[in-house]
A and B are shown apart, each in its own frame.
Chain A
Amino acid sequence: MNCREFEADIVDLARGADLDAALPERLGQHLGECAMCMARLERERHLTRQLKELAGSAPSSSRAAAIEQELLRAFAERHANASRPVAEEAQSFVALPGKRRWLAAAAVLLLATAAWMGSALWWPAGEVKPDSTRAAVNPAVPGPAIPDTLEGVDRRVEAQANDAGARNQAPVARAAQSEGARVERAGGGNVLRFVTLPTAVGLPGLESGRIVRVELSTAMLPAYGFDVNPETPAAVVEADVLVGQDGQPRAIRFVSLNAIPRR
């Protein structure tokens, strides 16, 4: 063995990695003859010891317990009834056998049609639908009377999302609606769903994310694309915001339909 051949195995030797059975003997023979390689091996061993010290001295996470609790809560929510994530839905759809897949597709089509018809019925003849993605709560825009609660916001936004125009929305929006459509309001029968934020249009598709519960002042809602009755007194509303993998908010779901008077 010469120095060049020794070089190829010196790191493994210094790290104590598994070597071929005959190799240690040949390496030992070379080391007995070459002081330079011996010195080199010593340096590599010294570095290995230092790296082991560094590995052993790495601090541990001080937030591990909090993170664990957070994750377990998310796990429980994820596997709770009727809150299956969009990715799984897509997988389970693909995993269905051929005939059942078509049945599922037909059911989805039927639901979409029903939702579209519901949307059409919601707007009485002669009234003007909002022509943008903004949810119109402004009484200046003709439509159902909206009291000083956010009930109308949700219902009309849902209707709008189901409108034919909403079919052109980004995949994120569809994903959010799909997930939201399965979440029932606790204690009530109303189905609440996520609504795409206008600021989310053009963002990359939703790969992962988290849902953050927030309290929003009604005064802030215009910033999220909702028009609010200017005569509504200052109030706060609870909402879930769907935040994507890049930290950008994608969609919103109102939790409390009735605005909470500001404390």
Chain B
Amino acid sequence: MAVDTSTNRVPDDELVRRIAEGHQPAFAELFRRLHPAVFRFALHMAGSVSTADDVVQDVFLIVMRDAGRYQSGRAAVTAWLCGIARNCIRQRMHRDRRLTPLDPVSDHERASDTSGPADPLAGLLRAERADALRRAVQTLPVPYREALVLCDLQEMTYEDAAQVLECPIGTVRSRLHRARALLATKVLGTERQGVEPRVDLRTGEPDQAQPADDAERAARRGGIDVGGCYV
């Protein structure tokens, strides 16, 4: 599709205003600008490419309908879209909580992530690390995962993340700290020890109280303890 030069320098919130008036080029421009951010957020939250695509579609259908409700002074457009995406993802998670994603990020897609380095091994190792990290992010409890994805992976400010998550900035910070602590224990622990330690998600600390054989089993499985249940 040809690029409409009348919209490509227009601020995001102005595009939303035009969309509310039925301006199709503004809608196309907003989609091109912001669908990658919505897609990445959905992908990191849901862990499935097709779900992320569906969420993108749902989000922009809602934009089409509710553009008039956007308040430009309240949050950035990206934050507004991620807030919509968050609700869509939560609804899907609630509906499909017993289902396993059929198409987690595939080997093919991971392989394509290794582009760039002259040393293929370095690329593979980097992809392997990214994969381990991606899986570790997926195991985080949803509130921590949301904070981590928005602040660290989407590089959103605390203020915008707080708008998306509908909570105070202090809560975003504390969730992010906890998420990173959990992630560090999982990922860095794996790198150092070759196994994944068992972590109590309620405290974020390694669980010392468990019997030795139980801890070993958990470590072999790479399990995390959530109130006595491994996930």
Binding site for B on A (CB under 8 A): 11, 15, 43-44, 46-48, 50-51, 53-55, 57-64, 67-68, 70-72, 74-76, 78-79, 85, 87-88, 91, 208, 210, 245-246
Contact = CB atoms under 8 A, between A and B. Distances in A.
Contacts of A79: 22, 24
Contact of A75 (B27, B148, B151): B27
Consensus secondary structure, chain A interface: helix
B184 interface: yes
B43 A55 contact: no
Contact of B153 (A47, A51, A208): A51
A47 B188 contact: yes
Contacts, number: 110
Contacts of B62: 208
A244 to B, nearest CB: 12
B127 interface: yes
B133 interface: yes
Interface of B: 1, 22, 24, 27-28, 31-32, 35-36, 39-40, 43-44, 49, 52-53, 56-58, 60-62, 64-65, 68, 91, 95, 105, 109, 112-113, 126-127, 129-130, 133-134, 137, 148, 151-155, 173, 176-177, 180, 183-184, 187-188
Consensus secondary structure, chain B interface: helix
A50 B133 contact: yes
Nearest to A14: B180
18 contacts: A11-B176, A47-B183, A47-B184, A53-B133, A55-B153, A55-B154, A57-B113, A57-B127, A59-B113, A61-B36, A61-B39, A64-B35, A67-B53, A68-B31, A68-B32, A71-B57, A71-B64, A210-B61
Contacts of A208: 58, 61-62, 65
A53 B126 contact: yes
A57 B35 CA distance: 16
